[in-house]
Amino acid sequence: MTVVRFAIPMFALLAGAAQAAPVKIGVLETLSGPQASTGQAYRAAVRYAVDKLNAAGGWNGQPVQLLEYDNQGGPAGASDKLKAAAADGVQIVVQGGSSAIGGQITEDVRKHNLRNPGKEIVYINVGAEALELTGEKCNFHHFRFAGNAQVRTKALVQAMKQGQALGTKVYAINQNYSWGQDMERAIVDNAGAGGYQVVEKTLHDVNKIQDFAPYVAKIGASGADTVITGNWSNDLLLMMKASKAAGLKVRFGTVYLDQVGNIANAGEQAVGHFVVQAFNAEAAGADGDRFMADYKAKSGHWPVATEPQTVFGLEMVADALKRTKPVNDALDVNALARALETTRLKTPMGEASMRAADHQVLLPLVVSVVAKDAKYKADDTELGFKPVKVFTAEQAAVPAQAACKMQRPG
């Protein structure tokens, strides 16, 4: 466990002796191993957001404390680190990398809260997008500040079709766990609206494949015009590398092409590929430029991939904290959760809000294409992500799942 210390505002030094029980936020991310780059991106965004929160005054006269835990890339590690976080007094847990890990955390948080009334923890999910987390596994102390497969695929298909970039034959390749299975279903579900046939579907092991050449050969042999994939981390990096090596002549529609390294791995082969994002600075105009500049000044790099949605999620948490009054100089987590249910935030992309019915954020989305004339470049290349269609939160949304039976305390 790592404790990250931020500069303490002067007001806190003056009032510190009278204060008690600072709010503790714990990041439970994959900070080592093959998926570490994904976890480190989430960590960087949380650090930026917490620093901003503390610069604005913290909570209850004190700076918020940020603690970091390496879940080592798996549900078992996450479960162990959640216990450590609870022992350390963490009240707000943040995680995003992997729905398998997210599923473990939300269940562990649910059980912890049942066993420890008055010492509840809230799970701030900034990237685990499996449908079950806001479906049959929904619970009062879980809030998702990211999309899901149905939302992402709906926007991606609509934008690609309108841009006459979709074709009539689609290959679906995804990781074989909850998120990848959701993506495969979403690709099939959107075939009618998209006017395409799913010519083949592949589910493969997660982060175990070192050579995607056989998969790329299957895609080429299928006659597909387009590949739609929810792959992320090494599985997308290596697929882009193999596609470049084979000279694969298909268009990719993705969720995570904007992760660091993908454009560098694909090179010119990436031109014309699509990604559905929560943020594109070019689409956001002057507000997007300001956010980019501030983030780079504070963190040393442009915000990419999941970093903007993580910042926006933590800003919504900050807003809810501001509206949650201390009880006996401490945070009432149940009161914070009730405040989160009504949170709205103006992001550079437009307004985002939390849906109380299932604790799924409703957020604007943008579909972008890899192009040489994009304003911001990726991976130190000449290529970047040029926006082609922006969806408001209402346009991007899909209905809450009937499987979510939200149970509220009291």
Query: pLDDT tens digits, residue range 164-199?
Result: 999 999 999 999 999 999 999 999 999 999 999 999
State residue 1's pLDDT score: 61
Please, which pLDDT band fits residue 207 given cuts at 50, 70 and 90? confident
- 155: tokens are 């926007």
CATH 3.40.50.2300 positions along the chain are 2-147+284-362, 149-277+364-396
State residue 20's pLDDT score: 61
Query: pLDDT tens digits, residue range 2-19?
Result: 655 444 444 444 444 445
d(CA 26, CA 308): 19
| pTM for the full predicted model | 0.92
d(CA 162, CA 153): 14
Q: Is the pLDDT of residue 331 over 80?
A: yes
d(CA 85, CA 27): 9
Question: Does CATH number 3.40.50.720 belong to domain 2-147+284-362?
Answer: no
State residue 34's pLDDT score: 82
DSSP output for 24-68: EEEEEE--SSTTHHHHHHHHHHHHHHHHHHHHTT-BTTBPPEEEE
Higher pLDDT, 2 or 303: 303
Q: Which CATH code is given to the segment(s) 149-277+364-396?
A: 3.40.50.2300
Name, in order, each residue with C-beta under 8 angstroms of 80's C-beta and a sequence gap of 6 or more. Answer: none
Alpha-carbon 124 to chain mean position: 11
